[in-house]
Amino acid sequence: MEVVKIRIFIDSSKLDEIKKAHSAGILDGVTTNPSLIKAAVKALKDRGENVDMSGYIKEILMLAKGLPVSLEVIGTTYDEMIEDGKKIYDTFNPVAGNVYVKIPVNPSFEEDSGKNFDGIMAIKELSSMGIPINCTLVFTPEQALLAAKAGASFVSPFAGRIDDYIRSQNGIEFNKSDYFPADGYEQGEKILEDNGIVSGIDLVGQIRVIFNNYGITETKVLAASIRNPRQAREAALAGADIATLPMDVIDSLLVHYKTIEGMKKFTEDIVPEYAELLER
Ligand code: G3P
């Protein structure tokens, strides 16, 4: 059996955040999407800076040299996604050789759009050209299975957004970072679910089981839309190969009241002889 090593990506397009996570020595990759790019551009404009999008993306790629960086297409048909995917890869991969093209598993805006397979076909075509693909907006294990079959390198189940969906479908109010139980949310006697998925972490776990059943090792399970450190832990327990985390979640991975309390006490108790030894 393959030894699964959890990898941590940062889900951000902000250079300062990517730098911070990278300099801590714990970063294994970067994921971006149009919403994250929008937030990064806004932050730059708010500081009065001009935005050269191409140069900005190149800076991210250089910063993360040696680590995969996902950049998303904007087209919503097979042809557009192939065109965008090739353009993204040809323009940006030469910078540091670390570009993954992000393709939505299904680019439809409605159920009967007639293009449910456009994402999968684009994944198959682009990956057959040697372009590594991160298949995004995955909300069911069967979407993940088809993406793996098409040759995606990563599949990205959106854990937090499944939890949002289950809560909002059942009239539960919540804040974005609120914890959602991995084993499901009990309302009265019943566990809430979305077509057999009881939480975002359950989605990650079901994909893991299916991939294990079929020996799928080329496609990595990248747990995305992770909102708090406990969910990051549970993604690891569920067998995610990778978790992509926003900076605030990365920061909070190391915080515990008793660690802080212990630090204060140990620091108070340093005797001069010990301090001298370490020249402090
Ligand atoms: O990686 C996907 C992510 O950016 C979506 O996160 O928190 O907006 O659902 P969120």
Every domain of the chain and the residues it spans: 7-277
Question: Which protein residues are within 6 Å of ligand 1, measured from CB?
Answer: 11, 31, 33, 36, 158, 160-161, 224-225, 227, 244
What average pLDDT score do residues 162-174 get?
A: 97
Q: For position 51, what pLDDT does the model report?
A: 85
* CB distance 143 to 157 below 8 Å: no
102 is annotated as an active-site residue: yes
Q: For position 91, what pLDDT does the model report?
A: 97
What average pLDDT score do residues 34-60 get?
A: 90
Q: Whose CA is nearest to atom 5 of ligand 1?
A: 225
Residue 41 has pLDDT above 90, yes or no: no
Which two structure tokens, joined as six digits, stand for 268? 């108070």
| Dihedral sign, Cα of residue 213, residue 214, residue 218, residue 223 | negative
Q: Give bridge partners of residue 155 from the DSSP assignment.
A: 135, 221
Residue from 102, 115, 190, 258 carrying the catalytic annotation? 102
Q: Give tens-digit pLDDT for 102-154.
A: 999 999 999 988 999 999 999 999 999 999 999 999 999 999 999 999 999 99
Topology (CATH level 3) of domain 7-277? TIM Barrel (3.20.20)
The pairing of strands 154-157 and 242-245 is: unpaired
Q: Give tens-digit pLDDT for 67-113.
A: 999 999 999 999 999 999 999 999 999 999 999 999 999 999 999 88
Q: Give tens-digit pLDDT for 224-248.
A: 999 999 999 999 999 999 999 999 9
Q: Whose CA is nearest to atom 7 of ligand 1?
A: 225
Residue percentage of the chain with pLDDT more than 70: 98
Residue percentage of the chain with pLDDT more than 90: 91
